[in-house]
Amino acid sequence: MTEELNPFEIAQRQLDEAAEFLGLEPGMHAFLREPMRELHVTLPVRMDDGSLQVFKGFRVQYNDARGPAKGGLRFHPNETIDTVRALAAWMTWKTAVVDIPLGGGKGGVVCNPKEMSQRELERLSRAYIRQVGRIIGPKSDVPAPDVYTNPQIMAWMMDEYSALQGHSEPGVITGKPLALGGSAGRMDATARGGMYCLREAGKVLGMDLKGATAAIQGYGNAGYYAQLLGEELLGLNVVCVSDSQGGIFCEDGLECQDVKGHKDETGTCVGLPDMETLSNEELLELDVDVLVPAALENVITAENAGRVKAKIVVELANGPTTPEADEILRKNGVYVIPDFLANAGGVVVSYFEGVQNAYNYYWDLEQVYEGLDSKMTAAFHAVHQMAQAKKVHNRLAAYLVAVVRVAGAVKLRGWV
Contacts with ligand GLU by CB under 6 A lie at: 70-72, 94, 144, 146, 174, 318, 343, 346-347, 350
**Between residues 97 and 248, which has the closer beta carbon with respect to ligand GLU?**
97
Task: Report helix, strand or coil for 321.
Answer: strand
Residue 143: CB minimum distance to ligand GLU, A:
7
**Between residues 113 and 247, which has the closer beta carbon with respect to ligand GLU?**
113
Kindly calculate the radius of gyration of the chain based on its CA atoms and give it in whole angstroms.
20
- For 244, phi then psi, to 5°, come to -65, -20
Task: Report helix, strand or coil for 141.
Answer: strand
**Between residues 187 and 291, which has the closer beta carbon with respect to ligand GLU?**
187
Residue 1: CB minimum distance to ligand GLU, A:
30
Query: Which contacts of 318-321 are long-range, i.e. CB under 8 A and separated by 24 or more positions?
Result: 318/86, 318/87, 318/90, 318/343, 319/7, 319/10, 319/11, 319/86, 319/87, 319/90, 320/293, 320/295, 320/296, 321/293
User: In the bound complex, which residue of the shown chain has the CB atom lying closest to ligand GLU?
Assistant: 72
Rounded to an integer, what distance in angstroms lies between the CA atom of residue 263 and that of residue 256?
11
Residue 299: CB minimum distance to ligand GLU, A:
16
* E strand residue ranges, 152-194: none
**Distance, first Cα to last Cα, the chain:** 36
Residue 168 burial (10 A CB sphere; 0-12, 13-18, 19+): middle
DSSP 117: -
Which residues have CB under 8 Å from 48's CB, separation 6+? 117, 119, 120
Instruction: Give yes or no for a contact between 106 and 60, defined as CB atoms under 8 angstroms apart.
Output: yes
Residue 152: CB minimum distance to ligand GLU, A:
16
Instruction: Give yes or no for a contact between 149 and 306, defined as CB atoms under 8 angstroms apart.
Output: no
Residue 106 designated active-site: yes
**Between residues 349 and 396, which has the closer beta carbon with respect to ligand GLU?**
349
Residue 78: CB minimum distance to ligand GLU, A:
17
341-365 in b/e form (b: 16+ CB < 10 A) is bbbbbbbbbbbbbbbbbeeeebbee
**Between residues 237 and 318, which has the closer beta carbon with respect to ligand GLU?**
318
**Between residues 151 and 247, which has the closer beta carbon with respect to ligand GLU?**
151
Residue 175: CB minimum distance to ligand GLU, A:
6
**Between residues 173 and 228, which has the closer beta carbon with respect to ligand GLU?**
173
Residue 147: CB minimum distance to ligand GLU, A:
8
- For 156, phi then psi, to 5°, come to -60, -40
Catalytic one of 106, 176, 263, 375? 106
Instruction: Give yes or no for a contact between 237 and 251, defined as CB atoms under 8 angstroms apart.
Output: no
Catalytically active residues, by annotation: 106
